[in-house]
Structure 1
Amino acid sequence: MERTTMAPAFSATSGSEQIPDPFGYGERAVTFLRALKHPKSRLSGRAFQLDPWQETIVRRIYGPCHPDGTRIVRTVVLLLPRGNRKTSLCAALALLHTYGPERVDGGEVISAASDRKQARIAFEEARGIIDAVPALKQITNAQEYKNRLVNARRRTFYEAISCDAGTQHGRTPTFVLADELHAWKKRDLWDVLKSGLVKTPGSLLLIATTAGRGQENIAWEIVEDARKVARGAVRDPSILPILYEAGKDDDWRDEKVWHRVNPGLAHGYPDIEGLRQLAREGERRPGDREAFRQLNLNVWLDHSADPFVDMDVYDAGAAPVDLDALEGELCWLGVDLSSNGDLTCVVAAWRDGEDGYIVHPWFFCPQDNLRTRSERDGVPYPVWAERGFINPTPGNVVDFRAVEETIRDLCARFRVQEIAFDPHLARNMLNDLLEDGFPAVEMRQGWVTMAPAVKELERAIVGRRFTHGGHPVLRWNFENIAVHADAAGNRMFHKGKSRDRIDGAVACAMAVARASAGDAGSIYESDEWSPEMMVL
């Protein structure tokens, strides 16, 4: 993971003389911000506090220009932990484009957030600065019901909007602040604002966020792309990555790490004693520890606060899976059929050497309301369907006939030894397959069968003997796993939240367990098995 605090060419403590400013735009931006006041400032006259690390950021955005005077930076990705006065700096930059030298007469300056409450925070910050500066307050028409501040002289306005505010088509922004992008559940507003920015020459997009969870969201895509720019893997001078983040392997209790990723600590914010208190609580409570790592150290986490495995280790198995090359190999299928709202998944598993496995999933979901389901679960179902990672079936529930047809096709293609079903929803399909001579078996999802399956799957993943091809839906399912353990230390899969889907991971565990058993046969055929073993 990228651990630099800024793009390699500039550091948060570098002097302004290192930053090109041929037209003086960086200097004039800093001058404007220093002329502002803040109602909570402790400086003389309540002057706006612009500390050296913040000044460096401002100069880096506005100083470098092309020979014709147009600004080089068009997108800023600011990944900053909580408590480092991100909102104050971003609100001041929004006012720079509304009242200051970066304004465009008649232009739209927009801050966008995940919901109305978050949008109001940015608005109140900007309003507080305006009220503290009499010259700006005099020319401002504050439209509270719209979360809008209008520069009456120049017809430029600043407005705070939210993702749940309905359509925003027709916008022509000159500046957009995408606030706490990690909390955006869908990308509709993002797409509208991005397309609107290209209408105006010299527009600027500022993404300001703390770290989030999971990879199936727009924030992860943007931050990961910024990391590539920061380390030089992608060359795009229009993107400025400012990434204050700790690595996953960093000691979260080390105060040197805290200072490295919280630039405000050198100036008294966030409160160091408050961080120490959070860290002490994190040592006692795993959930608090993960929240501290995410929000105060900017470690991008997996979906689950108690993950099944480290997803970096899981990702080591992303080598491509060649299905054609596996047609002659013994194969085991695990099937997890869904209720109305879940995914249905069929996973095929092959042995890879003596102690490894290769798997490949086939996912199914209802075709109706695919976009609505995407917004509910916060993942791109339509994109996955378009790319063939999910098979949408007609109607508003999964068509089990399509699932059964896929299973029959897989049996015709591969040397399938067993098809393992949880009989809860699969009784009819299981009986139909048995009648036609297919090797269908029951594998109930209780502790006796699933705990050993989970253990074997974990052993393979941690041992880096598990190849999954990087299938994005399967990865998302593994991210969502919350592990429950019994008194004996046996572990089972559960959803982290009600909207999370783990169906692919469950089917994967079933397939791997049956592949591990190999020729040993089904547990239900064993002399050691009895119905009483299924009582939890």
Structure 2
Amino acid sequence: MTVLDRVFAYCDDILEGRIKACIKHKWAVKRFLKDYEDCMNNPDSLFYFEEEEGEDFYYWAREFHHVEGVLAEQPVELTDFQLFISVNIFCFKKKSNGARRFRKVYIQLARKNAKSQFLAIIASYITFLGEEKQRAYIAGWQKDQSDEVYEAVRDGIASSTLLEGKWKEAYGKIEVLNNKSIIVPLSRETRKTGDGKNPSVGIVDEYHAHQTSEIYDVLQSGMVARKEPLMVVITTAGFDLSRPCYTEYEYVSRILNPDDDIENEDYFAIICELDEGDDIKVESNWIKANPIVATYEEGLESIRSDLKVALDVPEKMRSFMTKTMNIWVDMKEEGYMSAKKWKECEVEEFDTTGRDVYIGVDLSKKIDLTSVGFAFPLEYSLHVEQHSFMPEETLNERRTKDKVPYDLWIEEGWLDVTPGAVVDYEYVEDWIMNEIINKGWNPIMLCYDPWGATQFAQNMANKGITTVEIRQGYATLSEPTKDFREYAYKGSITHLKDKVLNWAVGNAITEMDSKENILLSKKKSRERIDPIAAIINAFVQARFALTKPKGDGNVKFISMR
């Protein structure tokens, strides 16, 4: 039976239900069959299908040998699931230049499903057999993540007698002797993100762990000059929906969905996860997320063990759901706000002209981010916005340290730089007054933390703005911090698609006292939370402009004019 025969049989088993699969897995299968049929029967198709390359990849994989476990020293035998992925990646070619059709690949499945080994085979296949010099970069957020795949490549090619004497390892990279191709591990942790020059293969491992898209962007931008680059993201699900991997997951899910208008002919994706409503305790569901592990008894026993621990120790359930069932879970430890709930409050635009406004400020340190928050009471809801400021001379330093695109946010209008090396508070004061005048706002009051902001408040009072101190403690902040979250969860708050604010909300961590009072903690929050802190300061007073009607629980706002 040829590789393609095996793949077609696998597709039939998936669609006929002989192999249980999630809906997105089925969509990927249907997409493959549709695209193959188009290549074979449509003379106007932009692509052709080269079956022989699927065979080549299969036999290349057999040059690798398992280096540990019960299969140690035996040749790697790709599963039908892996053959399905490899045929998609390597067999579809462009008629225009013979290059691979797919430039990007997204694979999401549960842990222990031979991800590192499969990536190692892909990286070595392209680098060893490429006609030109290939550069393959393996990128993890931390060094141990990139090292894991790199070591799998090294161990795999070292196990091959065919490749003996055809490569060398030096200075932390593998070099192929005949074409000078290289395989190099990269990581943010070792500051080795700028080394990926002119990559032909970029492998981003466990993308859910990447706090920003920094490494992905470096690799992607370096591929412009390549004829057939390949960017591969492989990951399990995660628990922080504000990270770039979840955005990518949502995007590729739309590509796969045949009822969605989003199309991307350059992007292959496959997602293996439990479907909504599936019971994690039903063993027949496990193969949906574990297309390899759940096909043999030792793998099933491992999942049973993981499930028992998760059921006995609730703190372990988050890890079980994401790593073993491959389900995205919004369960950030001590996180203030559900990213999903916050995202549901987004609106494309909102006209604040002429409205009442409560202004909150979070001045922070003069060399850091300073934020101004705005709360606009409406008839049955509250709209919030922010604007932040950073010293011009520290912008590059802060962008490097914080690993966020401050320069892009400036271009998009969410952030301003002030002249000099420290935040110019007079600049901030003038900016606020200009906004009030230009938009015809009715400023009810300005709410500020008295620590370090007394002079700022006095200056604003001299400009005719009523100012109110907001003490930064549980007594003042706990109730409004809880209420703000409650209103967001009920859909009674709106906000713009402000990347700075969304970033800050995703960063926010709470701390709690013995009486279950909470406040946002700058000490616990690893990243900056100033924009949401400024909005909370405004909300401390804005909430008194609203009442909760009996019955429906919706928020009703009463104007204080």
Q: TM range, normalised to the smaller chain? A: 0.7 to 0.9
Give 1:124's aligned amino acid: E
Aligned mate of 1:311, from 319, 328, 339: 339
Quick one: structure 1 residues 99 and 329, their matched pair in 2 at CA, closer, same or farther if it must change by over 3 Å?
closer
Give 1:230's aligned amino acid: L
Tell me, yes or no, if structure 1 residue 392 matches structure 2 residue 417: yes
Shift of 1:472: 1.7
- For residue 171 of structure 2, give the secondary structure of its aligned residue in structure 1: helix
Aligned mate of 1:147, from 159, 173, 185: 173
Rounded Cα–Cα distance in structure 1 between residues aligned with 2:467 and 2:374: 14
Quick one: structure 1 residues 498 and 306, their matched pair in 2 at CA, closer, same or farther if it must change by over 3 Å?
closer
Deviations 1:426-482 (A, max 9, x none): 111112223443210111122222112113212311211101122221122222222
Rounded Cα–Cα distance in structure 2 between residues aligned with 1:221 and 1:519: 35
The aligned counterpart of 1:117 is 144
- Gaps (5+ residues) in structure 1? 521-536
Rounded Cα–Cα distance in structure 1 between residues aligned with 2:495 and 2:463: 30
- For residue 136 of structure 2, give the secondary structure of its aligned residue in structure 1: strand
Shift of 1:258: 4.0
- For residue 331 of structure 1, give the secondary structure of its aligned residue in structure 2: strand
Deviations 1:351-406 (A, max 9, x none): 2224x211121112222332432333332211111111111222333222222223
Give 1:106's aligned amino acid: K
Quick one: structure 1 residues 250 and 127, their matched pair in 2 at CA, closer, same or farther if it must change by over 3 Å?
same
**RMSD of aligned alpha carbons:** 3.4
The aligned counterpart of 1:532 is none
Rounded Cα–Cα distance in structure 1 between residues aligned with 2:422 and 2:328: 34
The aligned counterpart of 1:456 is 483
The aligned counterpart of 1:206 is 232
Rounded Cα–Cα distance in structure 2 between residues aligned with 1:442 and 1:257: 55
Shift of 1:313: 1.9
Rounded Cα–Cα distance in structure 1 between residues aligned with 2:250 and 2:462: 50
Tell me, yes or no, if structure 1 residue 159 matches structure 2 residue 184: yes
Shift of 1:131: 2.0
Tell me, yes or no, if structure 1 residue 401 matches structure 2 residue 422: no
Q: Does the CA-based 8 Å contact 1:303-1:479 persist in structure 2?
A: no
The aligned counterpart of 1:53 is 81
Deviations 1:302-357 (A, max 9, x none): 5942333322222222113433xx33332211222212464322212122224x21
Rounded Cα–Cα distance in structure 1 between residues aligned with 2:331 and 2:414: 20
Give 1:31's aligned amino acid: Y
The aligned counterpart of 1:530 is none
The aligned counterpart of 1:76 is 105
Give the number of aligned pairs.
511
- Higher mean C-alpha deviation, range 435-444 or range 156-165: 156-165
Rounded Cα–Cα distance in structure 1 between residues aligned with 2:471 and 2:285: 46
Deviations 1:89-113 (A, max 9, x none): 000111111334xx22433333233
Give 2:107's aligned amino acid: L
Give 2:204's aligned amino acid: A
The aligned counterpart of 1:181 is 207
Tell me, yes or no, if structure 1 residue 265 matches structure 2 residue 293: yes
Quick one: structure 1 residues 263 and 374, their matched pair in 2 at CA, closer, same or farther if it must change by over 3 Å?
farther
Deviations 1:177-219 (A, max 9, x none): 2233344456565444324433232332222233346566554
Q: Does the CA-based 8 Å contact 1:329-1:415 persist in structure 2?
A: yes
Deviations 1:61-85 (A, max 9, x none): 1122334643222211122332221
The aligned counterpart of 2:3 is none
Q: Does the CA-based 8 Å contact 1:111-1:179 persist in structure 2?
A: yes
Map residues 463-478 of structure 1 onto 2, 5 A cutoff. 463-478=490-505
Aligned mate of 2:356, from 330, 348, 356: 330
Q: Does the CA-based 8 Å contact 1:37-1:45 persist in structure 2?
A: yes
Quick one: structure 1 residues 465 and 61, their matched pair in 2 at CA, closer, same or farther if it must change by over 3 Å?
same
TM-score (norm 1): 0.84
- For residue 203 of structure 2, give the secondary structure of its aligned residue in structure 1: strand
Aligned mate of 1:320, from 339, 348, 372: 348
Q: Does the CA-based 8 Å contact 1:334-1:421 persist in structure 2?
A: yes
Rounded Cα–Cα distance in structure 1 between residues aligned with 2:103 and 2:32: 23
Quick one: structure 1 residues 312 and 35, their matched pair in 2 at CA, closer, same or farther if it must change by over 3 Å?
same
Give 2:397's aligned amino acid: T
- Gaps (5+ residues) in structure 2? 1-21, 41-48, 548-561
Rounded Cα–Cα distance in structure 2 between residues aligned with 1:136 and 1:519: 73
Q: Does the CA-based 8 Å contact 1:36-1:129 persist in structure 2?
A: yes
Aligned mate of 1:479, from 490, 493, 506: 506
Q: Does the CA-based 8 Å contact 2:330-2:340 persist in structure 1?
A: no
Shift of 1:255: 4.9
The aligned counterpart of 2:29 is 10
The aligned counterpart of 1:374 is 399
Give 2:353's aligned amino acid: E
Shift of 1:490: 2.9
The aligned counterpart of 1:193 is 219
Rounded Cα–Cα distance in structure 2 between residues aligned with 1:469 and 1:7: 35
